[in-house]
Amino acid sequence: MSTTQSHRVMLITGASAGIGRATSIHLSQIFPSSTHPEPLVLVLVGRRQAELEATGKECKEGTIIEIATGDAAKEEDVEKIANMVKEKYGRLDLVFNNAGINEKSPGEFEDQDMTVFRKVLDINIMSAVLLTKAAFNIMKAQEPQGGRIINNGSISATAPRPNNTAYTISKHAVHGLTRSTSLDGRKYHITATQLDIGNASTSMGNHVQAGSIQADGSKKVEPTMHVDNVARTVGFVAGLDKDADILSLEIIASGMPYVGRG
């Protein structure tokens, strides 16, 4: 295989809405760049074909868009997507593991429906695991070797919210995956970043505007930030030179309860 890179291929899961859509659009606006002049390929992954296509239409003209419909938590779907990328482009430069949910049944931890609990763990953890595994196999074999993996974490990986155990556990697991990826990927020039996000204005995060339960049991309306702030942060990490790595990064809405929470 030639050492001349013909494309820069970036894969975003959960690209049909929210952070995934905003990030896809932003990446299309900043790449190609003077330091990364190759034509950009965006692989948009999600379960809703029409919404993925809508994201693609909002990306900058000239960006090569690949719509990859599938469930990132299912091994067969991930393998199909990875094989498409490998066969069509022969490389993968960046993965943004963004797919995730925060479903929970009403009540305290001891009242939780374990079917819902397992669903949160499966989607939030296994989608990132499966895409990371697939990325390793492509990134270590390509020339030039290596790539960058960014995991959508949460400040729940550090400071959990009340009655949110499944989501908290899942984001702690993503933290472990990021650290292990950074370590095990070192020999292949694969870097890993965990981006811990607090109160981005999305369909999943907007509930805090109506009031969120605090550690003392009170309910408080919390500030949110525009999702484009997250997209620009992913773009910053994606644009780093190969000799730089950011292991973890936090971006939160100004003034939200976090430092000193509880």
- How many folded domains does the chain comprise? 1
For residue 174, what is the DSSP state? H
Give domain status of residue 54, yes or no. yes
Place of tokens 């309910």: 219
Query: In this structure, what DSSP letter does residue 90 have?
Result: S
Pairing verdict, β 40-46 and 8-13: parallel
Whether 260 is in a domain gets the answer no
Residue 258 resides in a domain: no
Contact criterion met (CB below 8 Å) for 93 and 9? yes
Please indicate, yes or no, if residue 205 is contained in any of the structural domains: yes
- The reported pLDDT for the residue numbered 218 is 86
In-domain check, residue 1: no
Ranges of the chain whose pLDDT falls below 70: 1-4, 204-206, 209, 260-262
Q: d(Cα 168, Cα 160) in Å, to the nearest integer? A: 6
- Say if 259 falls within a structural domain: no
Per-residue model confidence as pLDDT tens digits over 163-189? 889 999 999 999 999 999 999 999 999
2 in any annotated domain = no
Indicate the Cα dihedral angle 54, 236, 186, 85, nearest 10°: 20
The verdict on residue 257 lying in a domain is no
CA 9/CA 43 separation, integer angstroms = 7
What is the rounded distance in angstroms from the CA atom of residue 140 to the CA atom of residue 53? 30
Residue 3 confidence (pLDDT): 46
Q: Which two tokens stand for residue 189?
A: 């020039």
Q: Rounded CA gap, 205 and 79, in Å?
A: 30
The residue count for the chain: 262
Which pLDDT score is estimated for 109?
86
Full domain range(s) for residue 31: 8-252
CATH number at residue 137: 3.40.50.720
Q: What is the pLDDT of residues 45-70, one digit of tens each?
A: 999 999 999 999 999 999 999 999 99
Write down the pTM of the prediction.
0.93
